[in-house]
Amino acid sequence: MIRFVLPGLPPSVNNYLSKGRRMVWLEPKARAWMEACYLHMLGQKARQPHLGPDSELYVDLRLYGGWQTSGKRAESQWRRIDLDNRIKPVLDMASKALGFNDCRITKIVAEKVESESERTEVDVHERREIP
């Protein structure tokens, strides 16, 4: 298993890419997050085991943050962050930092965890490690 702890939360996929007539590019905030996390991951990578070249991968993703607010209505008590919109940027960044094609990922588990500080934890497993 490879584990990374990243500062902050990933950008939403809604604010991740922009499209022009003939090209697609990363938004400046998304690029800044990707570059900061990429460097952070490279600093942690030396202490991690290596992934097999052709193994199927399983990713466990946890987003820590203050999700509950003090709203009066039940649905307004939760900070409006869609979990599924935060997965793609993390997978793109992890695959770049670890040097694998994200098509090798066959299982993803993601959750929001209540916490006072924002951070993102990513565990990458080879599928043979999972019962």
Buried-exposed string 95-115: b where 16+ CB fall within 10 A, e elsewhere: bebbebeeebbeeeeeebeee
Rounded (10°) angle between helices 28-45 and 87-98: 50
pLDDT at 25: 82
pLDDT at 47: 65
Please tell me the CATH code under which domain 2-129 is placed.
Answer: 3.30.1330.70
Strand partners, 26: 17
Give the start-to-end residue ranges of the domains of the chain. 2-129
Note the pTM of the prediction, 2 decimals.
0.80
Copy the structure tokens of residue 112.
């929001």
Helix spans in the chain (H): 28-45, 87-98
pLDDT in tens, the chain (131 residues): 889 898 888 988 887 778 888 888 888 888 888 888 888 887 776 566 778 878 899 999 999 988 766 555 555 555 667 889 899 999 988 888 888 899 999 999 999 998 889 999 999 999 875 55
Tokens 């588990």 sit on residue: 109
